[in-house]
């Protein structure tokens, strides 16, 4: 089950149906099964509080992924700052929705097992994000 909880007004053009189809494809093609994925869209200040509380980090971030995977069933709670997504999209000169879906895919790819600590891992992660984004139009 995929659920999106919005603490802010829904981003224009965002579709839970499109997200569900895209994530079903991503999870299936990566060889896993879909469990419960809960995306919580919030502002910078709210996510900062979680970042401090959960990770002892005192800085803004675009996503915190709380991995709840069991075996090959992908489940997680993904906390997302819409403010960070907007700023990143502007800096990257990308459409807001594309950056939002990228971050959502990024979080799920982390649960699957992809990392982004090294340059090589970042390159692979970005390739996977771009692969799944390529099936969407913005």
Q: Residue 61's domain is classified under what CATH number?
A: 3.40.390.30
Average pLDDT of the residues in 73-89: 96
Judge whether 65 lies within some domain.
yes
Judge whether 102 lies within some domain.
yes
Taking CA atoms, 89 is separated from 2, 59, 62, 78, in Å, by 24, 19, 11, 19
- According to DSSP, the β-strands at 33-42 and 2-6 are parallel
- Predicted local confidence at residue 133, as pLDDT: 94
Residues spanned by the domain of 125 = 2-133
pLDDT at 30 over 90: yes
pLDDT at 81 over 80: yes
- Predicted local confidence at residue 129, as pLDDT: 95
Judge whether 44 lies within some domain.
yes
Q: Provide the total of helices (H) and of strands (E) in the chain, helices listed first.
A: 5, 4
- Structural tokens at position 121: 């891992």
Judge whether 25 lies within some domain.
yes
72 or 12, which is more confident: 72
Burial class (CB in 10 A: 0-12, 13-18, 19+), 109: buried
Judge whether 15 lies within some domain.
yes
pTM of structure: 0.91
Into how many domains does the chain fold?
1
Taking Cα atoms as reference points, which of 52, 5, 35 lies closest to residue 111?
35
d(CA 32, CA 22): 14
Judge whether 94 lies within some domain.
yes
Judge whether 62 lies within some domain.
yes
Taking Cα atoms as reference points, which of 86, 36, 101, 46 lies closest to residue 66?
36
> Rounded mean pLDDT of the chain?
93
> Among 6-20, 63-77, 105-119, where is mean pLDDT lowest?
6-20
Judge whether 138 lies within some domain.
no
- Predicted local confidence at residue 92, as pLDDT: 93
Q: Contact, 137 vs 21, CB < 8 A?
A: no
């Amino acid at each position: 089950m995929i659920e999106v909880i919005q603490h802010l007004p829904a981003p224009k053009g965002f579709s839970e149906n499109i997200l569900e189809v895209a994530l079903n494809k991503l999870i299936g093609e990566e060889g896993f099964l879909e469990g419960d994925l809960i995306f919580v869209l919030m502002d910078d200040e709210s996510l900062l509080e979680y970042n401090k509380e959960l990770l002892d980090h005192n800085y803004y971030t675009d996503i915190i992924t709380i991995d709840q995977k069991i075996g090959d069933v992908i489940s997680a709670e993904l906390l997302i700052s819409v403010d960070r997504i907007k700023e990143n999209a502007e800096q990257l000169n990308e459409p807001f929705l594309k950056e939002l879906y990228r971050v959502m895919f990024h979080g799920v790819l982390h649960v699957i097992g992809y990392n982004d600590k090294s340059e090589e891992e970042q390159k692979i992660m970005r390739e996977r994000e771009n692969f799944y984004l390529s099936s969407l139009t913005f």
